[in-house]
């Protein structure tokens, strides 16, 4: 395999990984920001309050986007 082919395969792998992980990371980011704003306004500093909604959101995103993620791989 030539150097150009190896670089192309690596680039395709990175693009595929990022496109598959983007929905899950985006959902976790949005939920984290919303929960952080809620915690800041109510002055509740509970670790599980930030953790549990993210887990539920990522699980629901896996249910919704799971088929697409598998087909993209």
Give pLDDT, residue 1. 79
Contact by Cβ (8 Å): 57, 31: yes
For the segment 34-56, what is each residue's pLDDT rounded down to a tens digit? 999 998 899 888 878 888 999 99
Spell out the domain ranges in the chain.
16-72
SS3 label, residue 28: helix
For the segment 4-24, what is each residue's pLDDT rounded down to a tens digit? 899 999 999 999 999 999 999
SS3 label, residue 44: coil
Give pLDDT, residue 60. 94
Give pLDDT, residue 44. 83
């Amino acid at each position: 395999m030539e150097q150009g082919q190896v670089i192309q395969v690596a680039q395709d792998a990175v693009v595929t990984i990022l496109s598959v992980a983007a929905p899950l990371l985006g959902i976790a980011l949005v939920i984290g920001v919303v929960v952080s704003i809620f915690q800041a306004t109510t002055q509740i500093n509970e670790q599980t309050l930030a953790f549990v909604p993210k887990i539920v959101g990522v699980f629901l995103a896996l249910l919704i986007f799971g088929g697409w993620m598998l087909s993209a791989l």
